[in-house]
Structure 1
């Protein structure tokens, strides 16, 4: 399967509760992550993680699926 470039946006509403689980999943898929940026958005009470990935659609689907199952985590992806 062909690897594609993509962007994954993750919004966390309760970082103290879910951040360890999010980081554990991201570590598991670290081989597909090209870059990562985290932003605390204190005015809105959320934390945002942006990932640049190079992966197959199956790998992106597996990663976003695991993240999306966590309470207080929203995730969206875009592949080109």
Structure 2
């Protein structure tokens, strides 16, 4: 499969509950992550993380699938059209 450039947007609505789990999942997929930006929003006890990735569609699906199973996590991704 071809690797493509893309991004993953992650919203953690309950940082206390799921931030550690998200970080663990991201560390398991570190080989596809080019850059990571994390912004905690302390007043609302949530956080937003944006990843830039270089991955196959299967690798992105595996990462987003694991993240999406966490109760307070919303995740969206997009990949470039160019292979």
The TM-score, its normalising length taken from structure 2, stands at 0.91
Aligned to 1:60: 60
Residues 1-80 of structure 1 mapped to structure 2, 5 A cutoff? 1-80=1-80
> How far apart are the structure 2 equivalents of 1:52 and 1:14?
23
Question: RMSD value over aligned CA atoms?
Answer: 1.0
Q: Which stretches in structure 2 are left out of the alignment for 5+ residues?
A: none
> How far apart are the structure 1 equivalents of 2:12 and 2:71?
9
Q: Which stretches in structure 1 are left out of the alignment for 5+ residues?
A: none
The TM-score, its normalising length taken from structure 1, stands at 0.94
SS of equivalent residue, structure 1 residue 71: coil
